Structure 1
């Protein structure tokens, strides 16, 4: 097996591998992550059989897209991939129940969870927010850094350019159409769970099938009430730290788990 760097030109092969493991293809997501992150692939001759991506921020590294082809599963390839991108700094990731034992062996500990919710939102619009513009970029980056503890201007630049950002007096919610039939909502930053619910409603109404990854019980109950079904509850884990940075009480949903 040869380990080598992935580029955006590998996004179709990455999507093929994802689809073979019952993940969505989401080539736009692979393109975003491979553009701003460091992707590594394991190749058996010319066939891509394993992937991982690490997105490095000044404050920590976010590990994602850990995939291994079924025919080479349970051979230690996942460990090899993740170990390759680990360093002495703080790392974070979301773990499925299947992957969690490996990450615990590599020094990760659980610090939370997320409830993946998807469906057509059936609730009313709250109408508490308005669309942000490029002029809001510096404020968005500063708020995000304060709440998440990580600095990632590229995320907000991407959302303003190819997605949408709604702002209110109490917070902000981004959204991005990762596929023709699915829009992701996040990051959602809000002073209270009720404010988060209102921002999610403003972002979701009229946009067909949407996904938002939430954890606060009030927000989970709100999206469940309005047609959003659970797709699973991965565990949020961290390595070389006792907790996630920032004021996470105000961080109600990521855009992508892969981005922290």
Structure 2
């Protein structure tokens, strides 16, 4: 692109028609709006908040938020950086034909805790824009929503200390970036002692040849009985080990990895086209 074209883009972005000035809540560090019927799209809810550099805690449980939480929620332009780029080009003191875009995207750098439970959010699709929160995020609560897909930056499943995704029965591991290991261990403490434990048997691991993900590992000592539809305790399920990060999901997230038959009961899945009573 030519300098002239880039300059026009910068002017358009800085024009209030295209790029309205964000709200200035510079002293805001903790915002709790839980139990208020805000009733807006989840992405729209984040639009004024994503500019708040000092925000550390965001609580918005039971606010009737719905729909997709998209990349727009974690994607911002640094106005000062844009103004500087525009000034340089206007003064013709640079021969650059590109903009260093990477330095322009950095939303809510201090945000550590987000609570969005008891809403109706259907999907998280922030792709690599979530990477900006990696260093500060320690708690993300999305319990009791309507999640069907989580396609954010893969390290979401290992960079957050406490990730709560339970009470989302339609969320399946195939629709996430989770990496689940079925390598046999005796107890979760084995993982804490050796976080580099080799895992060769994966239930699900997207593109594991491209990047290294610390896999989620079922807790071999955490099984408890679960009731089938007729009330019988025919199978038992466990949770993932809390090694590095604690990920809470429903057992339906991956029943093959998290559940097993109870002793003396055959609960093997019926072959296709057959059933059992």
> Would the TM-score normalized by the shorter structure come out above 0.5?
no
Between Structure 1 and Structure 2, the one with more strand by share is: 1
Structure showing greater radius of gyration is: 2
Between Structure 1 and Structure 2, the one with more helix by share is: 1
TM-score w.r.t. structure 2 length? Answer: 0.22
TM-score w.r.t. structure 1 length? Answer: 0.23
